[in-house]
């Protein structure tokens, strides 16, 4: 069966443009506002939504996403509430792919079997679990794939040709290429190096390759999108949410995110024109 993620990338391939993949943290700045933000993303131009699962020790995340997770936890967000957010989102949107991104600890505590079952029931399409290497596929990756969830793996600038087959073995949906070494939001990617890295990965797989870490502007999205199947933006969005809290959050938070996403959407559509 074709998943929403696979269907979305097939559609975008026909259109000849990269995907705009947006990351926000579930429950940031609070559950109700987070739901409103996620509901507004597709109309603003997001093609795929990554939803962060708040965790108290997010070792791969930079300060912006760390603070977003802590805001969410302080506001009472839990993995159960995150799944309910997806359920509520699905009441009005049956097509936009939703990917849960985060760390294994909250899933382990929830119970892998129960989590996979509940994630599917809520309308989740895929998982990115950054601290589970291929050597631990039995823990979550294989049960998720068996159930029909895509399992998206990260490749980095240090993932060489010897390691890449292991990384790609049970990956599905797309490959997430981390464009810089280090934590999220720490630097801007080099478009030339990114394009070469994407080409190298594509020699090993037919899956789409999306590029994230460090993309903040429409210009960067266009530049990266010329050499990739998708552009992932996260830190810029969660930073906008943080800034909006000085204006009271709520409507200000929703507008802060959607304004940036609209600009980024123009960028990825410019990338399409550059490819033509």
The CATH number given to whatever domain includes residue 71 is: 3.20.20.70
pLDDT, one tens digit per residue, over 26-44 is 999 999 999 999 999 999 9
Tokens of 92: 């009005």
Confidence at 70, pLDDT banded by 50, 70, 90: very high
The catalytically annotated residue of 6, 28, 30, 50 is 50
What is the per-residue pLDDT for 128? 97
What is the per-residue pLDDT for 1? 79
Confidence at 57, pLDDT banded by 50, 70, 90: confident
The model's pTM: 0.94
* Separation CA 110–CA 128 (nearest Å): 16
pLDDT, one tens digit per residue, over 139-191 is 999 999 999 999 999 999 889 999 999 999 999 999 999 986 554 444 566 77
Examine the residue annotation and report whether 61 is marked as an active-site residue of this protein: yes
* Separation CA 122–CA 252 (nearest Å): 28
What is the per-residue pLDDT for 276? 44
What is the per-residue pLDDT for 185? 47
**H or E element in which residue 51 lies:** strand 48-52
Indicate the average pLDDT of the chain. Answer: 92
Tell me the angle at which helices 218-225 and 191-202 cross, rounded to the nearest 10 degrees: 40
- Whole-Å CA distances, 9 to 96, 187, 212: 11, 27, 16
Examine the residue annotation and report whether 50 is marked as an active-site residue of this protein: yes
* Separation CA 3–CA 213 (nearest Å): 25
Range of the domain at 259: 4-275
Confidence at 201, pLDDT banded by 50, 70, 90: very high
What is the per-residue pLDDT for 271? 77
The catalytically annotated residue of 6, 28, 30, 61 is 61
- Residue range 182-204: average pLDDT? 76
How many structural domains comprise the chain?
1
In 3D space, the residue among 178, 250, 189, 173 whose CA is nearest the CA of residue 224 turns out to be 189
């Amino acid at each position: 069966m074709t998943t929403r993620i696979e269907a979305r990338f097939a559609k975008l391939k026909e259109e000849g443009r990269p995907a705009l993949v947006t990351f926000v943290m579930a429950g940031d700045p609070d559950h109700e506002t987070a739901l409103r933000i996620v509901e507004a993303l597709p109309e603003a131009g997001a093609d795929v939504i990554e939803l962060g699962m708040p965790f108290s020790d997010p070792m791969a995340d930079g300060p912006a996403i760390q603070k977003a997770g802590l805001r969410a936890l302080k506001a009472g967000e839990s993995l159960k509430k995150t799944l309910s957010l997806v359920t509520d989102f699905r009441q009005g949107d049956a097509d936009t792919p939703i990917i849960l991104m985060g760390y294994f600890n909250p899933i382990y505590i929830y119970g892998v079997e129960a989590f996979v079952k509940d994630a599917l029931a809520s309308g989740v399409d895929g998982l990115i679990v950054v601290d589970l290497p291929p050597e631990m596929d039995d823990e979550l990756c294989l049960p998720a794939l068996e159930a029909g969830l895509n399992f998206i793996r990260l490749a980095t600038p240090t993932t060489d040709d010897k390691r890449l087959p292991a990384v790609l073995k049970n990956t599905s949906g797309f490959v997430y290429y981390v464009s810089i070494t280090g934590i999220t939001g720490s630097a801007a990617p080099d478009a030339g190096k990114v394009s070469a890295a994407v080409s190298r990965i594509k020699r090993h797989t037919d899956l789409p390759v999306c590029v994230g870490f460090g993309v903040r502007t429409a210009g960067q999205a266009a530049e990266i999108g010329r050499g990739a199947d998708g552009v992932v933006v996260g830190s810029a969005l969660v930073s906008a949410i943080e800034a909006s809290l000085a204006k009271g959050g709520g409507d200000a938070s929703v507008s802060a995110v959607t304004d940036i996403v609209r600009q980024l959407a123009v960028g990825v559509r410019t990338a399409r024109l550059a490819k033509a």
